[in-house]
Structure 1
Amino acid sequence: MIPLVSKFYCSSSEVVFVVRTRPHVINGGGFVVTDCNQKVVFSVDGCGILGKEEELVVRDEKRDALLLLRGKGGIFEALSFHKIWKAYKYDFQGSKKLVFSLRRPKSCLPVKNDVGIRITTKPKVSRKDWDFEVSGYFPDRRCSIIDSQGNAVAQIGTIKKTGEQLSKDIYFVSIKPGVDQAFIVGVVAILDNIYGESTSC
């Protein structure tokens, strides 16, 4: 797979991260992503920190900004059948470059399924009009990100102790070899915001 954010975030083996959400009263919400040694690898700042609704920032372990995530609003959203998010990375001169966009169909009815959430990358990695989609239901911590050929590239799940789920505020993200981890964390951040969780106001 082509690195979307950086080849630095593509591992030759599968990695499992732990996501811990921050309450809004602590650092304005968002979440941190740690490795098996409990070292922070990524963090996500939500609108509680940034002060802007539907704007998120994915940061590396040094707190440097990797991705700016923006929900598209205004007249465009009102006329569209989809809710669209765009993810940008900063180049060495500080200008923004589109990395991926995520589309979710609008619905008046509550849907207990993430059917229709599709992701298009830049550069494209498939011949379809989308490159990845979300399968399952994020609020239950039971979902996968699959590629256009049906292969799971990442899985989100609950952490259990003696058969019981610890908390919805702590969960794991398993990422396959060669998949850009910063890209996956960006998708998780958008899902978190869509469902009004730690990154939302």
Structure 2
Amino acid sequence: MICQDCKKREAQVHLTQIINNEKLSLSLCKECAAARGFHSPLDNHPFPLAEILSGLAGDTPPVKNSPPGEEMVCKGCGLTFEQFTRQGRFGCGDCYSAFRSRLESIMRKIHGSSLHRGRIPEFSKFEKSEQALPIQEEERLQSELATAIKTEDFEKAVELRDKLKAVREKLMMEDTPN
């Protein structure tokens, strides 16, 4: 959509005003919107994710494998972990792997676990993947274990507990980097 003022640039600001049950819509480019005095309330206030992450990451111990003074750097884009905590955004998809050891402790602080334990949407491709099977198996065994304990079938409960432990160990091994 073209700016309704200058009719030259792409409209990036869309305003809608309703006065006396009449709707007035205006689409402007950033320059024309600024000239009219319309400014985004978020322009001068960066998203606090960077502050939250730096607060959480500040408590995490340095990575065991890195020598003192050497910081973590993503090989894909060159982003350092310190830059990530300041800006609150990754530079590329490889950042997840590069900063994995530090991210796990942050995820544990936020969610209580570094593994996803929630439900998986039915429409998700992940649900049918090989990676999802151990998680679904763990949920099924947990449910069966609760039922066995409730019905006082303790022999079955012991068997389910052992299977559950094996599945959890498998999940932990898959989650640890090689």
Higher relative contact order (CA 8 A, sep 6+): 1
Asked which structure has the greater CA Rg, the reply is 2
Which structure carries more helix by proportion? Answer: 2
Which structure carries more strand by proportion? Answer: 1
Same fold (TM over 0.5): no
Interval containing the TM-score (normalised by the shorter chain): under 0.3
Q: TM-score, normalised by structure 2?
A: 0.21
